Structure 1
Amino acid sequence: MTFDFSPFLPWPVLATLAVVSAVIAAFAIWRGVRGAWIRTLAALALLTALANPVLLQEDRDQLSTIVPVIVDRSQSQQTPDRVKMTDDALAALKGQLARFPQIEPRFIDVEGDVNSDVPATRLFDALAANIADVPPSRVGGAIMLTDGEVHDVPAANQALGFDAPIHGLVTGRPKEFDRRIEVIKGPRFGIVNEEQQVILRVFDDGPSPGGTADVVVKMNGNEIATLRATPGQDTPFSFKVPGGGSNVLEFSVAELPGEVTAANNRAVHVIDGIRQNLRVLLVSGEPHAGERAWRNLLKSDASVDLVHFTILRPPEKQDGTPINELSLIAFPTRELFVDKIKDFDLIIFDRYQHRGVLPLLYYDNIAQYVENGGALLIAAGPEHAGPDSIAMTPLSSVLPAMPTGQMIERAFYPRLSEEGRKHPVTRGLDGSGEDPPHWGRWFRSVDVEKPEGETIMLGADNHPLLVLNRAGQGRVAMLLSDQGWLWARGFEGGGPNVSLYRRIAHWLMKEPALEEEALTARASGRTLEVTRQTIGDNPGNATVRYPSGKTETLPLTQTEPGLYKAEKRMDEIGLFEIRNGQLSTLVHIGAVDAPEFKAMISTTDVLKPVADRSKGLVTRVADANGEISVPPILPVRGQVRVSDTERMMIRMTSETVLKGINTLPLFAGFAGVGILLFAFGAMWWREGR
């Protein structure tokens, strides 16, 4: 209760009246005027009544004590065991807090930063953001429900902005163990078929079982080796880059009993294969207009080492000219097709016919070269339909189409077949989207029987024009016309001969981007980009397996014929597995050394220093058997000066809020009137004597 004035007149007026009254009273008392003291008291009573003294009584309510509860929902908390522990402990904690109506809890779920490539568990940032509107004196403490892997613990408690206990309730079990594998060092690029080396390391977090670990190594999904690694030590692995483009090297260790998670038991390293020099053997049966088109295309590519032979004087041509007078060299058949055939990445027969230059045994060598992984391109002309066709040699075992012996000689527009519109070799060729195609005509092609493999281009009357096929481990392409040079010369506007020939060559050499059936995935920041190529029907949805183990269906949308894509921003980091039908691929999203992903075992050590400084408590919510128990809450008035090893102390606030003020005027009502009447009555009585 307090005392105050609520004057009826302004204070300057009251002050003036008081001064005048004081002067008059002093003069009257000095002159000894009878009744001066009574008049002075009456004037004082009147001035006091005009000043209106009042008694004030404030009506206040006690404010609640704010207790933020920070719940860690980061990726390291997403194992099934920890999710259940967190939910059960949170339910028990809510029940305890509900017993204290003067405590106002604020529950804050903290997930990983989906906008960061290096996410971390930042509980103290979340704490500061959620109590920014609360005076420090009202914060009674903070409770953190986490696995203990917190990456923004302040070095000093002053950074918290309040002076109250910090408590940590840690999920997970005591003495947890986790095994993980990381690629420590590895090249991003490598020359195809040259040896490269990566350094990997197996880590045992927590009590290690000891011994060694078997590491299974896969290249592009195929198992290639098993390594014996000692945890904590670098393990080198040497390999040869199998092909151009992206090559995914996968390392995995088996999950051990009792391990926290198997999400970090795999690691990938992507190496882009670069073909240093493509060795191409081009054999032309005779000089012709299209020969230069092939030669110019291959010579214009700096990455191609071209060996070109043209048969100018076949054995049956006997004109009597002495050999020493010819400016020709003998065709080195044995050197090319026996001794060094494996050195070539691609062999091209351009309008070649069997004229006794190559023994039949050499054709068999070429067929074996293809079946063992080589590449063969047949650019056929009229010779292929004749009796000396190479289709009549042992090479026929790898050819996808046999000639009927007839030539189709009439003008036609080369067109893409239904498969060709989807096939990466011909999909999207310039001019193919119109009817007729926006390119020049050809005028002859070789008629063949029903081919094997994929017919991706059609000639006159929908006869096969370009056929692709696999033979053993190798590949074969047959272009059943020698008219491609018309496009190169710009006849009727020309055509995309360079793109077509280059794609055929790269498909033959197993370029991953030109595979008919392929599933690829790449990470763009935190966005997963999935691409599915197929020459079949709609492949359906893809299935994504997250690092945490959960799976999700990802719809694929057709963007071009035979090309389906999908994008999704991921809320986890780590190694993702994408499947579609029989195809699968792996991709790592986020930084491989992100704090959230590296350490998965729970710990009380990280929060203990800040809890000790603030007189808080850090304890596990589950025992070795998984039984959940939450320490009781102890409200404390005033400063928390000692810590408690069994209870979570909460400093209760003394702050209040003013709801209203009750006033009692002292000169109001009968009391004020009585005092004034008494004063003036006494003055009248004194005057009457």
Structure 2
Amino acid sequence: MTLQFAPFIPWFILLALAVLALILATAGFARGVRGTGIRLLASAAVLAALANPLLMQEDREALSTVVPVIVDRSQSQETPERIAMTDAALEGLKDRLSRFARIEPRIVEVRDPATSDAPSTRLFEALASAISDVPPARIGAAVFITDGQVHDAPAAGQALGFNAPVHGLVTGKADEFDRRIEVLRAPRFGIVDEDQELSLRVFDDGRRTDTPATVTVRMNGEEIATLNATPGVETPFGFKVPRGGNNVLEFTVSATPGEVTEVNNKAIHLIEGIRENLRVLLVSGEPHAGERAWRNLLKSDAAVDLVHFTILRPPEKQDGTPINELSLIAFPTRELFVEKINDFDLIIFDRYQHRGVLPILYYDYIAEYVKKGGALLIAAGPEHAGEDSIAITPLASVLPAAPTGNMHEAAFYPRLSDQGKRHPVTRGLDGSAIEPPQWGRWFRSVDVDPPRGETVMTAADGRPLLVLDRAEEGRVAMLLSDQGWLWARGFEGGGPHVSLYRRIAHWLMKEPELEEEALKARASGRTLEVTRQTIAGDPGAATLRTPSGKTETLALTETAPGLYRGEKRMDETGLFTIANGEFSTLVHVGAVDAPEFKAMVSTLDTLKPIATETRGRIARLDDGKGGLRLPDILPVRGDVRIADDRRLLVRLTDETVLKGVNTLPLFAGFAGLAVLLLAMSATWWREGR
């Protein structure tokens, strides 16, 4: 209760009147005037009434004590056991806090930020945001429900912005352990078929062991090695990049019974395969107009080392010319087709026929070269349908089509077959989308029996024109016409001969981008994009297995013939397994070295320094018997000076809010009038004497 004034006239006038009253009273006392004291009292009463004294009383209400409860919902908390423990602890804590009318819990659940590619558990940022609109004096305590893997814990002595205990309720068990694997150092690029080396390490968090762990290594989905890695010791691994383009190395360490999670038992590394100059052997059976088209295409590519031989004069032609004058250099058949055949990435027979230049045994060597992973392209002309065709040599065992002996001599537009419209070698060739195709005609083709493999281009009446096939580990392509040079010369507008020839060559050399059946996935930030290439029908939805073990489906939409795509923004980050039919692949969403996956074992150590400094308590929720142990709440008044080893202390606030003010005027109404009348009456009474 306080006394305040609300004068009816300005203070300086009241002050002047008071001074005047004092002067008059002083003069009256000096001269001995009777009634001066009563007059002074009457003047004081009038001045007091003009000053309007008010008796004021505030009506205040006590404010609640805010207790922020920060719940860790990061990926390290996503194991079934920790989810159940977190949920039970949250419900129990809310029940205990609700028993105190003046305590206001503020629940904040913290998940991995959707905008972050390198997720981490940032609970103190969430705490600061939750109490940004609360005065520090109203904070009674802060409670964290977490596994202890917190990545933004402040250093000792760093201000939190309030003076109250910080408590931690830790999920998980005291004796937890977890096994994980990391790739420490590895090249991002590697030359195909050359030795590369990386190093990896297996970690056993929560315990120490010297027993080697088994690590299975896969390259592009195929198992290539098994390693024994001692936990905590760097393990080198040597390998070769099998192909150009993107290659996926997958490392899987054997699981240990009882470990926290198997999510981090896998690691991947992406390495871009770079080919050295491709070695191509081009053998032309005789000079013809199309020979220059092949030579110009291959010579224009700086990444190709071309070895080209042309049979200018067949052996059966006898005109008396000495053998040593038939060519500048001898055709090194043994060196090329026996000793160094495996050095070539691609062999092309361009209108070649068997005339005795190559011994018959050498065709068998070429067939074996293909079966062991080599690439062979046959660009056939009329000689392929003749009696000297290489299709009647041992090479026939790898050729997908056998000639009937007939040639078709008629103009036709090369067209894509139904498979060709979906095959990456021929899909989308410029001019193929319109009927008739917007390119020039060809005029002859080799007739063949129904071929093996895939017929991706057709000649007149649907006859095979371009056939692609696999022969054990190698690949074979047959172009059953020698008229491609017409496109190169621009006849009737020409055609996409460069794209076609280049795609054929790259498919033969197993470029991943041209595989007819493939499943690929890539991540851009948190967005996962899945691509399925197929020459069959709709492959259906893809199945995604998330790092936490959940299974999701992703619908794939056909964006081009034979090409299906789907994308989805993922809530989780880490290693995803994508499957569709018999195909599967791996992709890492987010940063590979994200803190959230480096440690999964629960710990008290991270929050303990802060709890000790603020006189809070860190406790495990697990009671060691499969149950939940939740501490009681103890409200205290004033600053917390000592920690309690059994309960969570909450400092109650003294803060209040003003609800209203009650005002009582002292000289209002009958009370003021009575005082004034009394003063005036006393003056008259004294004057009357």
Could you say whether these structures have the same fold, taking a TM-score greater than 0.5 normalized by the shorter chain as the test?
yes
Who is 2:117 aligned against? 117
Matched letter for residue 240 of structure 1: K
Who is 1:344 aligned against? 344
Tell me the alpha carbon deviations over residues 304-341 of structure 1, each in whole angstroms, 9 at most, x when there is no partner.
22121111222211112222333354433222222222
3-state SS, counterpart of residue 120 of structure 1: coil
Who is 2:487 aligned against? 487
Who is 1:469 aligned against? 469
| CA apart distance, 1:504 | 0.3
| CA apart distance, 1:441 | 1.5
| CA apart distance, 1:615 | 0.3
Structure 1 range deviating more: 222-231 or 584-593:
584-593
Contact 1:199 1:236 in 2 (8 A): yes
Q: Normalised by the size of structure 1, how large is the TM-score?
A: 0.98
CA distance in 1, matches of 2:593, 2:460: 59
3-state SS, counterpart of residue 411 of structure 2: coil
| CA apart distance, 1:411 | 1.7
| CA apart distance, 1:71 | 0.6
Change beyond 3 A, Cα 1:625–1:314: farther
CA distance in 2, matches of 1:251, 1:354: 49
TM alignment of 1:296-315, pairs within 5 A: 296-315=296-315
3-state SS, counterpart of residue 100 of structure 1: coil
Asked if 1:566 corresponds to 2:571, the answer is no
TM alignment of 1:123-522, pairs within 5 A: 123-522=123-522
Runs of 4+ in 1 over 4 A off after TM superposition: none
Contact 2:342 2:369 in 1 (8 A): yes
Structure 1 range deviating more: 467-476 or 523-532:
523-532
Who is 1:48 aligned against? 48
TM alignment of 1:604-619, pairs within 5 A: 604-619=604-619
C-alpha RMSD of the superposition: 1.4
Matched letter for residue 108 of structure 2: I
Q: Normalised by the size of structure 2, how large is the TM-score?
A: 0.98
The answer for unaligned runs of 5 or more in structure 1 is none
Matched letter for residue 105 of structure 1: P
Tell me the alpha carbon deviations over residues 601-635 of structure 1, each in whole angstroms, 9 at most, x when there is no partner.
00001100010000000011113333112111110
Contact 2:2 2:57 in 1 (8 A): yes
Contact 2:71 2:108 in 1 (8 A): yes
Structure 1 range deviating more: 455-464 or 59-68:
455-464
3-state SS, counterpart of residue 99 of structure 2: coil
Tell me the alpha carbon deviations over residues 43-91 of structure 1, each in whole angstroms, 9 at most, x when there is no partner.
1111112222121111000000111111111111111111111111111
CA distance in 2, matches of 1:331, 1:458: 35
3-state SS, counterpart of residue 410 of structure 2: coil
Contact 1:120 1:595 in 2 (8 A): yes
Matched letter for residue 654 of structure 1: D
Who is 1:627 aligned against? 627
Contact 2:67 2:106 in 1 (8 A): yes
| CA apart distance, 1:158 | 4.5
Tell me the alpha carbon deviations over residues 434-483 of structure 1, each in whole angstroms, 9 at most, x when there is no partner.
22222222111112222211111122222211111111111110111111
CA distance in 2, matches of 1:201, 1:210: 13
CA distance in 1, matches of 2:650, 2:299: 81
3-state SS, counterpart of residue 499 of structure 2: helix
CA distance in 2, matches of 1:541, 1:119: 28
| CA apart distance, 1:183 | 0.8
3-state SS, counterpart of residue 202 of structure 2: strand
Matched letter for residue 649 of structure 1: L
| CA apart distance, 1:35 | 1.5
| CA apart distance, 1:157 | 4.4
Contact 2:209 2:231 in 1 (8 A): no
3-state SS, counterpart of residue 445 of structure 1: strand
Structure 1 range deviating more: 362-371 or 232-241:
362-371
Contact 2:156 2:609 in 1 (8 A): no
CA distance in 2, matches of 1:324, 1:361: 25
Tell me the alpha carbon deviations over residues 249-284 of structure 1, each in whole angstroms, 9 at most, x when there is no partner.
111111111101101101111111111121211111
CA distance in 2, matches of 1:327, 1:417: 43
State, as a whole percentage, how many aligned pairs show the same letter: 71
Tell me the alpha carbon deviations over residues 502-547 of structure 1, each in whole angstroms, 9 at most, x when there is no partner.
1100100111111001111122223222211111111111111111
CA distance in 2, matches of 1:318, 1:329: 19
| CA apart distance, 1:209 | 4.5
Contact 1:443 1:483 in 2 (8 A): yes
CA distance in 1, matches of 2:50, 2:157: 56
Who is 1:647 aligned against? 647
3-state SS, counterpart of residue 320 of structure 1: coil
Contact 1:174 1:623 in 2 (8 A): no
Who is 1:36 aligned against? 36
| CA apart distance, 1:114 | 2.4
Change beyond 3 A, Cα 1:157–1:95: farther
